[in-house]
Structures are given as structure tokens and as C-alpha cells.
Amino acid sequence: MDTFANVNAFDNHDNFRSAPTRRVHPHRHWQYVWLPLVSALVWFGTLWAMLIVWLASGRPRYPSQDGSIAYISDIGASSLKPLFIVGCSITAVGFFFSLAVERFLRHSGRLVAHMRRRERIFGILAMLGSVIGGLGLILLSIFDTKRHTSAHRAFLLVFMVGVALSAIFTIVEYYWLSKDFPEVRRLQYAYIAKALIAITLICLAIAFGVALYNSTNAGAVLEWTIAFGFTFYLLTFFYDLRLSKGIASGELTREKLRENPSLAHRRA
């Protein structure tokens, strides 16, 4: 009887050891890691194309333009409006889904999971901020400054506020995650990079709001700088999603991390 029990115990132990976590092909993460990268490239490409066309055309003065330097919205209200709408729409959708995928990967245990309710709440708030900012971006491209000046500026404000709120919520979420796992340097790098870019863009946005009514050309330069700078913020999510490379679903769940916090250091 004792021998039978020992054999069963050995078999159970052997079965437990022989059932490791499912391995993941190292390139499986590429299915979704392209989202923020494509969004960033589309956004940068749209801005670059608009700027090149304006410069190559001899810097024309558009009907809605006040200073000698054209605003993005001035060029976007011209014949390039279809390009502007498509570029803004793809960027807005990509921005939201980058956050949504990141949230899903944390929930499924392929990224370091949220350990407290506050982190999950701020993650959801960041997604809501991206929805608000994304809608503002799409609508400001549709309601151009030439035909709908007031609506365009209102949606521009919605876009800036939405993205700023999303960035703040994301930074706080990542900060709390990095406090739970201080040995995971990649989490610290992620939130520090986001914080530096977001703080810089928010300060520039405030300066832009002042210059918009006091120094037209300075406002145009600031707008282009902020717009191109937003590309770098989008690229930080490319870095985030790459952290799930080679990690199977369930490896970094909250329950497993509570039992063995060192998993985050070894796998993240």
C-alpha cells in the first residue's frame, strides 16, 4: 500500500514537472507590436508629406493662414485634406488599439500584470483618454480651419487634452508597476521615457496656446514640433509591446507574481 502511494506521489510529481508553461515562438509578438509602429510611421509620414508639399510649392499662403509659416491645419484644409483625414484617422485608431492591446496582454499574463485595482483603473482611464484624443484628432481633420474655424480649434483642444490625460494616466500606471517590481529596469525605462516626452509635449502645448494668439509664426513652429514629437510618444508603445516577446499566456499573472515576484525580473 505504501509502495502504491509512493508510486502515485512520484507520478504526480513527475507529471507536474513535465507540464511546463507553453513555449511561444519568439516572433509571435510581431502580430500586434506593429500597431504603434505603423501608427507612428503613418503620423510622421502624413506630416512630412504635408510639409514637403508646402515647401516644394514655394511656401504658398493659404486663405486661412495669418503668418508666413503655415500651420498643419492650414495645409490640411487645402487639397491635401483627404491625406490629412486618412493620416489622422489611422493614427487615432492605432493609438487606441496600442493601449487596448497592452491592457489585454497584462490581463492575459504576457506582460507584468496589474497587482492592484488602482493600476487597472488608471489603465482603463488611459484608454478612455486615448478615445477622447483620437476622436478630437479625427474631427479636427474633418472640420478644417478654413471652413469651420471655431469647431476646428475646439476639436484641437479636445485632442490635446485627451492625449495629455491618457499620457498622465499611463505614466502613473507604469510608475506604480515599477514600484511593485523595482528590479525590472524595463518598466522604469518605459515610464521615464513616457514621462519625459509627455512633460515636454505638454509644456510645448501650453506655449503653443499662448503663441496662437500672440505670435503666429512661433505658434506654427510649436505646432509642428509638438506634432512630430507625438511620433516619439507613439513609439514608446512599440517598446512596451515588445516586452511580451517569447512569453506565453499566463506566465506573468497576478497570482503567479504574488507567489514568485522574481518572475517579473526573469521574464519581463
Give pLDDT tens digits for 142-181.
Answer: 999 888 989 999 999 999 999 999 999 999 988 887 776 6
For the chain, what percentages of helix, strand and coil (3-state, to nearest 5) are there?
75, 0, 25
Please check the confidence at residue 27 and state whether its pLDDT lies above 90: no
Q: Which helix (H) or strand (E) holds 34?
A: helix 30-56
- Residue 114 has a pLDDT of 65
- Residue 19 has a pLDDT of 37
- Residue 188 has a pLDDT of 76
Sign of the Cα pseudo-torsion (204, 37, 241, 108, in order): positive
What are the start-end ranges of the E strands in 38-145? none
Sorted by sequence, the CB contacts under 8 Å of residue 152 that are 6+ apart come out as 73, 140, 143, 144, 145
The model carries a pTM of 0.82
Please check the confidence at residue 190 and state whether its pLDDT lies above 90: no
**Mean pLDDT over the full length of the chain:** 81
- Residue 24 has a pLDDT of 45
Please check the confidence at residue 51 and state whether its pLDDT lies above 80: yes
Longest dimension (CA), the chain: 95
> Rounded CA gap, 51 and 55, in Å?
6
Sketch the domain layout of the chain as residue ranges.
32-267
- Contact criterion met (CB below 8 Å) for 175 and 191: yes
DSSP string, 180-193: H-TT-HHHHHHHHH
> What is the average pLDDT across 237-261?
65
> Rounded CA gap, 115 and 62, in Å?
53
- Residue 216 has a pLDDT of 86
Please check the confidence at residue 193 and state whether its pLDDT lies above 70: yes
Burial (0-12, 13-18, 19+ Cβ within 10 Å), 254: middle
> Rounded CA gap, 202 and 57, in Å?
32
Q: Which of 3-12, 28-37, 46-55, 80-89 is the least confident region?
A: 3-12
List pLDDT tens digits, range 109-145. 677 666 678 888 999 999 999 999 999 999 999 999 8
> Rounded CA gap, 126 and 224, in Å?
24
Please check the confidence at residue 66 and state whether its pLDDT lies above 70: yes
- Residue 187 has a pLDDT of 72
Sorted by sequence, the CB contacts under 8 Å of residue 224 that are 6+ apart come out as 47, 51, 72
- Angle value at C-alpha 25, between 98 and 114, nearest 5 degrees: 45
Q: Which of 26-30, 79-83, 171-175 is the least confident region?
A: 26-30
50: number of Cβ within 10 Å: 22
- Residue 10 has a pLDDT of 38
- Residue 253 has a pLDDT of 55
Joined grid coordinates for residue 43:
503620423
Which of the 8 DSSP states describes residue 113?
Answer: P
- Residue 25 has a pLDDT of 46
List pLDDT tens digits, range 195-241. 999 999 999 999 999 998 888 899 999 999 999 999 999 999 998 88
Predicted confidence band of residue 1 (pLDDT cuts 50, 70, 90): very low
- Residue 104 has a pLDDT of 85
Percent of the chain beyond pLDDT 70? Answer: 76
